[in-house]
Structure formats: C-alpha cells, structure tokens
A and B are shown apart, each in its own frame.
Chain A
Amino acid sequence: EAGVAQSPRYKIIEKRQSVAFWCNPISGHATLYWYQQILGQGPKLLIQFQNNGVVDDSQLPKDRFSAERLKGVDSTLKIQPAKLEDSAVYLCASSLGWEGSPLHFGNGTRLTVT
C-alpha cells in the first residue's frame, strides 16, 4: 500500500510571500487532515476534510491559510502572506474515516520563512 505523498519536502520563502503544499492521501481514505508541527511540539490540527467537505477548520488562521480538496482526493494547503511564525513542518494525514480510525502521515513539508 502506497503511503501519503507530500510535496515539496522543503521550502524556503521570505515573509509576505505565498506558498502552496500538495498532498495525495492513501487510496480509499475518505478523511484527509493537515497538521502543523512546530519544532519541539506535537502536531496541531489545521483542517480536516471528509471526502471534499470541511469537517473542522477551527484552528486554521483563515486570514492567511486556505485549503481545498478537489474531487475528494488530492489536497492543497496555501499560505498567503507568510509570517515568520509559520515556519514549521506541515504534515498531511489520511484515514478510513470511521470513528477512532488511526491516521497515517506523510513525511511533511518543512517550511522556513525568513
């Protein structure tokens, strides 16, 4: 079974620039998540999709972050404009979507904002 694919692996941008991350979940997984992991901390949920609908985006800074999941498969996460405090690893995960189903993570995109 192929895992969760993410690209790019690394990105360096200046503050106020924009950036986009891409995720392809495990085939057949209905639920897709974007997490933000700041160095030395556990991952924090940004947004959760069930198929192509948003289930939870309560912790997404909507003035600068946006996400979409086209056709209920791939997803993109965008930041515009970026701030220094957005420097983190952005992890995509997917699950089968039933209550309590475990999440499977990609290797993330490491973003550095200078």
Chain B
Amino acid sequence: QKEVEQDPGPLSVPEGAIVSLNCTYSNSAFQYFMWYRQYSRKGPELLMYTYSSGNKEDGRFTAQVDKSSKYISLFIRDSQPSDSATYLCAMIRRGFQKLVFGTGTRLLVSP
C-alpha cells in the first residue's frame, strides 16, 4: 500500500465548475500538507500549504485537512481553462523534511 493515494484521473469539467481533488494517506505522523500544481514540461509549483487539520482559503482555492480520517482535499471554484494541469498532493512527517507525493490528478477544464 502506498503511503499517499491519489486518483490519477483525468478529471474533465466545464469552465466555471467547482472541482474537488482528494488524497488519502496511511501514516498518522504526517503533519504538513501541500498541494502542488504542475503544468506540462514544468516543475511542481506550490499552491497551498496547511499545517495539521483545518481549512485554508486563497482566492479560488480552498485546502482542507481532516487528520482523523487521513483525508485531504483541494477545491477550485469557478474553474478556468488555465487551471488545466496535474495537481499533486504532498505531505511531510513530523520531525522530517522529506516530501512524499501522491500520484497526481490530471485536471482538464474545457471552455
């Protein structure tokens, strides 16, 4: 079993839709949670950073962490074609600096 599970997609939505991306994890020691966006032929770009449980909002993006369920989510409101990319969840264990990634979910937003 992988430490971090993520549906690879692709997830296809029309412009303006609300997108929900999710990851589950198995190790309760994960304490720091991130979402990265990766465009084709580019490196991952940090999108959201959350410490422990709770919600964080930044513009059209909302990140949620539920440590009791070992489940994290990223919501994108009013999705745009420019949001088409691969979204990678990633997390770091308490006491460490190593980032562990999910597989990534490919999102396609059509005009």
Q: From known contacts A100-B51, A107-B42, infer whether A40 and B103 are also in contact, taking CB-CB under 8 Å.
A: yes
Query: A residues 63-114 with Cβ under 8 Å of B?
Result: 91, 93, 95, 97-108, 110
A99 & B95 in contact (Cβ 8 Å cutoff): yes
B44-63 Cβ-contact flags toward A at 8 Å (1 or 0)? 11100101000000000000
Question: Quick one: which of B55-111 are within 8 Å of A by CB?
Answer: 88, 90, 92, 94-104
CB contacts (< 8 Å) of A103 on chain B: these are 46, 99
Count of interface residues, chain A, beta-carbon cutoff 8 Å: 29
> CA of A103 to CA of B46 in the docked complex: distance in angstroms?
8
Q: Give the residues from 32 to 72 in chain A that come closer than 8 angstroms, CB to CB, to chain B.
A: 33, 40-45, 48, 50, 55-56
B interface residues, how many (CB within 8 angstroms): 29
* B21: min CB distance to chain A, Å: 13
Judged by DSSP, the binding face of B is: strand
Contact present for A43 and B101 (CB under 8 Å)? yes
The contact of B92 among A40, A93, A100, A110, by CB within 8 Å, is: A100
Most chain A CB within 10 A, of B4, B92, B94, B102, is at: B92
A105 lies within 8 A of B44 (CB): yes
B98 x A45 contact (CB < 8 A): yes
Partner of B97, one of A44, A97, A106, A110: A97
Tell whether B8 is near chain A: CB-to-CB under 8 Å: yes
Asked whether A102 lies within 8 Å of B103 as measured between CB atoms, the reply is no
- Give chain A residues whose Cβ lies under 8 Å from the Cβ of B44: 43, 91, 105
| Known contacts A95-B97, A99-B96, A42 near B104 by CB under 8 Å | yes
Residues of B within 8 A of A31 (CB): 97
Q: Is A4 an interface residue (CB 8 A)?
A: yes
Given the interface pairs A42-B88, A42-B103, the reply to whether A99 lies near B43 with Cβ below 8 Å is: no
**Chain A residues packing against B (C-beta within 8 Å):** 4, 31, 33, 40-45, 48, 50, 55-56, 91, 93, 95, 97-108, 110
